[in-house]
């Protein structure tokens, strides 16, 4: 029954923004698909930002992985260390984004993704109006 109580809480609770980051693009897409949450601009922002953040993280990780596999042993070692640092930074940023979403902030810590998410959210809200 605790899950049912959580779902019955008002949609403006800060947990909805956290779910967008906690379950990655899957949680974000689920909340965007639910009309109850899609109406809230904060949830839409965090959902779109979560999808963009994980897409960016996956793209950079894939590029580093590909470059590591195609390079010599020394360069591969350097790229492996860069990838480790990128992953640690990404996990720390992921935690900071969840904390910001819980606080109700739209602080995204990475300006280009924040701007793009705000624009996409604004476009979406203008279309539905």
The dihedral sign for the CA sequence 61, 63, 69, 71 = negative
Domain with 71, as residue range(s), is: 10-119
- The confidence band for 2, taking pLDDT boundaries of 50, 70 and 90, is low
Question: Is residue 89 assigned to a domain?
Answer: yes
d(CA 95, CA 29): 19
Total tally of structural domains belonging to the chain: 1
Q: Could you report the per-residue pLDDT of 16-38, keeping only the tens digit for each? A: 889 999 998 999 999 989 888 88
Q: Is the pTM of this model over 0.85?
A: no
Question: Is residue 4 assigned to a domain?
Answer: no
d(CA 82, CA 97): 22
Lowest mean pLDDT among 17-26, 44-53, 120-129: 120-129
For residue 127, pLDDT beyond 80? no
Question: Is residue 127 assigned to a domain?
Answer: no
Check residue 105 and give its pLDDT: 81
Question: Is residue 128 assigned to a domain?
Answer: no
The rounded mean pLDDT for the chain is 83
Check residue 124 and give its pLDDT: 57
d(CA 107, CA 114): 8
Q: Print burial letters for 96-107: b (CB count within 10 Å at least 16), e (below 16).
A: ebbebbeeeebe
């Amino acid at each position: 029954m605790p899950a049912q109580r959580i779902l019955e809480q008002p949609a403006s609770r800060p947990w909805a923004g956290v779910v967008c980051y906690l379950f990655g693009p899957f949680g974000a897409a689920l909340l965007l698909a639910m009309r109850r949450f899609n109406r809230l601009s904060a949830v839409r922002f965090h959902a779109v930002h979560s999808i963009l953040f994980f897409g960016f993280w996956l793209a950079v990780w894939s590029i580093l992985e590909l470059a590591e596999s195609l390079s010599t042993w020394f360069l591969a070692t350097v790229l492996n260390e860069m990838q480790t640092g990128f992953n640690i930074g990404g996990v720390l940023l992921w935690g900071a984004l969840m904390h910001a979403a819980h606080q109700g902030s739209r602080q995204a810590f990475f300006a280009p993704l924040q701007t793009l998410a705000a624009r996409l959210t604004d476009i979406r809200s203008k279309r539905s109006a």
